[in-house]
Amino acid sequence: MSSKEVTRRWFIMSTAAAAAGGVATAQSTPKTPSANDKLNIAAVGAGGKGEGDIRGVAPGNNIVALCDVDEARAAESFKRFPKATRYKDFREMFDKEHKNIDAVTVSTPDHMHAVVAMAAMQLGKGVFVQKPLTHDIYAVSYTHLTLPTKRIV
């Protein structure tokens, strides 16, 4: 092969080598987290198991909204995150906060997991859900029928 001739094999080998070098360099460079790397997290269910879930995601992130129907049970979370806006109804929280939220933790009683999670996913949010998401296929169907089909922006 002359020095000016480029074969398919030579092209593939040289680009693969260059890509491997780029990946190795990118992986060896430590990344310093910036303020933009923090997620704004909302929690539906802030007492009981929800309190533990919130504490699990709080380090390095912003807890911006807390929702619980039982203020006494969620008192510890409310006290721990005083800057977070409080809500009793997750639908109201999503209506008012959806532009400020990146992700949602769902730590509600079992019968509400699917409804809350689907509402958050329809808004394009990342969701952490305590299991079970549903008990049977009918719960999934019911969820699809009761939630709005139009995405709220």
Q: What is the pLDDT of residue 149?
A: 47
Domain, as residue range, for 89: 35-146
The three-state secondary structure class of 35 is helix
State pLDDT tens for residues 89-106.
999 999 999 999 999 999
Nearest to 48 by CA among 18, 68, 24: 68
Look at residue 27 and tell me if it is in a domain.
no
Q: Could you give the 3-state DSSP secondary structure of residue 139? A: helix
**For all residues of the chain together, what is the average pLDDT?**
79
Residue 139, pLDDT above cutoff 60:
no
- pLDDT exceeds cutoff 60 at 31: no
* Distance from C-alpha of 69 to C-alpha of 151, rounded to nearest angstrom: 25
Asked if residue 134 has pLDDT above 70, the reply is no
**Residue 57: partners with Cβ closer than 8 Å, 6 or more residues away:** 39, 41, 63, 103, 105, 128
Whether the Cβ atoms of residue 39 and residue 104 lie closer than 8 Å to each other: no
Q: What is the pTM (predicted TM-score) of this model? A: 0.65
Query: How many domains would you assign to the chain?
Result: 1
Which CATH number do you get for residue 51? 3.40.50.720
Distance, CA of 94 to CA of 82 (rounded, Å): 19
- pLDDT of 142 > 70? The answer is no
**What is the pLDDT confidence band of residue 71, given thresholds at 50, 70 and 90?**
very high
Cβ neighbour number for residue 150 with a 10 Å cutoff: 7
20: in domain: no
